[in-house]
Chain A
């Protein structure tokens, strides 16, 4: 991994030594967890400086995850948008095929890295929170790979809605613990994972699924996911001989997006759009923390949160379970405030439309999360000149979503 600490004037040198990205990030955890968080930070620093750690991570990504995955020119999508655009307009759209990874999404990049850290710390038990079950499946997968005991906390409502993934996790040897507290969804599964962790700090490693939580999680998850942006860099140079003009990625917690963006933050010619889930609309139920929230403290970090004037967390909504979270990773909050990344809301129905469009035009069924990014590209590409290049992060595949989509389209299966 590159040492960004040597770039003082870089946008890639965050966080500071206390885990702050500008006014965001930090370590807002109960005292019981602080010593472990500080130890994790030490272990991670040592791992980063150890070429053997990086080599093992790279080898697993290559032989187990299936990296590098392709950067694919979506010609039919590009042409379809050009046909509707003004003459000379319609940017060229590439898809970064994270959905081709083992387990079908970008989540595994991070889980492999954190499992290696857990092993370095001598922890043989891992826990994770999951919403739709993608991060749960990825964690259960690496737990099987490393021979670790695994518990997955999942909201009771999600357990009911995502039966195939629950069964997958069990097949992989994990215990799935339904969470009945609060609204029984992703944020509550994170609460219960934290409750379990604080009670079992001595032998348990918490594999957080997104670039959020207390320092050093946002940093290390970003670093593990940065493989996405690094690969895009070399692949687009090979395909086009230059950097792209724009990157587009969906943002829930925002790990795939920060992994895609981070290697390009110091390239001012590369614009970036993070796509938030606008649910039923920003004036109704949604999950767009930047567009509709304000700075607050939850789950170990200061970041933008959906909350009321008393600081009570309000419920998020998105058709995509992976975006259905009332917060966002702290580095995104910072990138939003300094204006380096533009964040754009996409609604449920727009994502549903793009879910079908990409399936029909390219033969790729995207995850609903990724369909949000495709929808944004469909809106932006026709406004750009035809010689511009957009890369969309196709963060996951949509097999998991077919029931949700069928339901939304009124199709009986």
Chain B
């Protein structure tokens, strides 16, 4: 891993403040490429610690309606892979310290080969990649290329990932571990807090990687509750819905909403005192 690893630095800083990291997702090029930089800046201004930038795909089969529509809006307005990397590189120039993760599907990532993709990530200052449809069994498609250039491959653990399977998921995982709280698609059901706590405890027993929890997290209250047990909270569909409603003018609304999330994820000490 690189000497200055933005992801581990950021997780360490949040930990030092006694709080979970807020990880926010938007789709690159939604509603169009021109509008995306202001939306990304709004995420940071609202208090997001880590940014997940979705690479649009025509067939996002792990996503619910909110993010699926975002993908189609983005592609409909003409977003290309080269635009996604340009958005990432510009973000890196404006926000040298904020970790940036690319999230998406294998086919757009690998269309020009894994080496090309990894090199582009490196050049654009992308810190990590989440590829929804590359399970550990198919790691050879993308893992070696990313590791060779020091870009994290963030793996997903789900409610169906049992103890027997977890080591396979952790083998080759880096950056953080993304716990998918519900067996399902993005933005739909919510997991019971008790189940999340149980799952995070099991994952923490198995790895030293930070644990981030996502899928179905829509409100400041939920984010706060998850923030008490996990190292990171991921919010996606709820933000994407705001972009869907406000389009080009979404940035201030996004910033307000993200501020409500970051404001709710209090340092544990402060919360106890309050």
Residues of A whose CB lies within 8 Å of any CB of B are 18, 26-36, 181-182, 187-188, 190-191, 194-195, 198-199, 201-202, 296-300, 305, 307, 309-313
Cβ contacts B28-66/A at 8 Å (1 or 0 each): 000000000000000000000000000001111111110
- The one of B111, B165, B184, B185 in contact with A35, judged by C-beta atoms closer than 8 angstroms, is B165
Contacts A188-B59, A201-B160 aside, 19 further interface pairs with beta carbons under 8 A come to A26-B137, A26-B138, A27-B138, A28-B106, A30-B135, A31-B135, A31-B160, A31-B169, A34-B137, A35-B165, A190-B61, A195-B63, A195-B64, A199-B183, A199-B189, A296-B110, A309-B112, A310-B80, A312-B107
Tell me whether A182 and B58 are in contact (CB under 8 A).
Answer: yes
Which of B118-126, B151-159, B263-271 is the interface stretch?
B151-159
Cβ contacts B67-83/A at 8 Å (1 or 0 each): 01000100100001100
In angstroms, Cα B237 to Cα A180, docked, is 19
Nearest A residue to B182 via CB reads: A199
Nearest A residue to B165 via CB reads: A35
Tell me whether B183 and A298 are in contact (CB under 8 A).
Answer: no
Assess A35 versus B161: contact at CB under 8 Å? Given A195-B64, A198-B183, A312-B57.
yes
- The one of A29, A296, A299 in contact with B111, judged by C-beta atoms closer than 8 angstroms, is A296
Indicate if B199 sits at the interface (CB-CB under 8 A): no
Tell me whether B62 and A30 are in contact (CB under 8 A).
Answer: yes
In angstroms, Cα B158 to Cα A36, docked, is 12
Tell me whether B61 and A194 are in contact (CB under 8 A).
Answer: yes
- Taking CB atoms, residues of chain B closer than 8 Å to A198 are 62, 183-185
Tell me whether B185 and A34 are in contact (CB under 8 A).
Answer: no
In angstroms, Cα B58 to Cα A299, docked, is 12
Indicate if B180 sits at the interface (CB-CB under 8 A): yes
Nearest A residue to B178 via CB reads: A31
In angstroms, Cα B106 to Cα A31, docked, is 13
Tell me whether B58 and A313 are in contact (CB under 8 A).
Answer: yes
Tell me whether A191 and B108 are in contact (CB under 8 A).
Answer: no
- Would you call the interface of chain B mostly helix, strand, loop, or mixed? loop
Tell me whether B183 and A201 are in contact (CB under 8 A).
Answer: yes
Indicate if B132 sits at the interface (CB-CB under 8 A): yes
Indicate if B134 sits at the interface (CB-CB under 8 A): yes
How close is B29's CB to chain A, nearest CB, in angstroms?
Answer: 12
Which among B141, B156, B158 has the highest number of chain A CB atoms within 10 Å?
B158
In angstroms, Cα B133 to Cα A312, docked, is 15
Indicate if B188 sits at the interface (CB-CB under 8 A): yes
- Taking CB atoms, residues of chain B closer than 8 Å to A18 are 137
Tell me whether B110 and A32 are in contact (CB under 8 A).
Answer: no
In angstroms, Cα B57 to Cα A313, docked, is 8
- Taking CB atoms, residues of chain B closer than 8 Å to A298 are 59, 107
In angstroms, Cα B179 to Cα A32, docked, is 11
- Taking CB atoms, residues of chain B closer than 8 Å to A190 are 61
Residues of B whose CB lies within 8 Å of any CB of A are 57-65, 68, 72, 75, 80-81, 105-112, 132-135, 137-138, 141, 155-162, 165, 169, 180, 182-185, 188-189
- The one of A28, A182, A195, A310 in contact with B81, judged by C-beta atoms closer than 8 angstroms, is A310
Nearest B residue to A297 via CB reads: B106
Tell me whether A297 and B188 are in contact (CB under 8 A).
Answer: no
In angstroms, Cα B72 to Cα A191, docked, is 14
Nearest A residue to B104 via CB reads: A311
- The one of A33, A36, A311 in contact with B108, judged by C-beta atoms closer than 8 angstroms, is A311
Tell me whether A297 and B156 are in contact (CB under 8 A).
Answer: no
- Taking CB atoms, residues of chain A closer than 8 Å to B58 are 182, 312-313
- The one of B110, B155, B160 in contact with A311, judged by C-beta atoms closer than 8 angstroms, is B110
How close is A206's CB to chain B, nearest CB, in angstroms?
Answer: 12
Nearest A residue to B68 via CB reads: A181
Nearest A residue to B65 via CB reads: A181
In angstroms, Cα B107 to Cα A36, docked, is 23
Which among B64, B81, B110, B133 has the highest number of chain A CB atoms within 10 Å?
B133
- The one of B106, B134, B161, B184 in contact with A199, judged by C-beta atoms closer than 8 angstroms, is B184
In angstroms, Cα B182 to Cα A26, docked, is 25
How close is A208's CB to chain B, nearest CB, in angstroms?
Answer: 13
Tell me whether A309 and B111 are in contact (CB under 8 A).
Answer: yes
Assess A32 versus B133: contact at CB under 8 Å? Given A182-B59, A182-B72, A199-B188.
no
Tell me whether A32 and B137 are in contact (CB under 8 A).
Answer: no
Tell me whether A35 and B62 are in contact (CB under 8 A).
Answer: no
In angstroms, Cα B105 to Cα A28, docked, is 10
Which among A31, A187, A194, A299 has the highest number of chain B CB atoms within 10 Å?
A31
- Taking CB atoms, residues of chain B closer than 8 Å to A27 are 135, 137-138
In angstroms, Cα B60 to Cα A309, docked, is 18
Name the 3 nearest CB pairs between A and B, nearest first: A311-B111, A199-B184, A311-B108
- The one of B108, B141, B155, B162 in contact with A310, judged by C-beta atoms closer than 8 angstroms, is B108
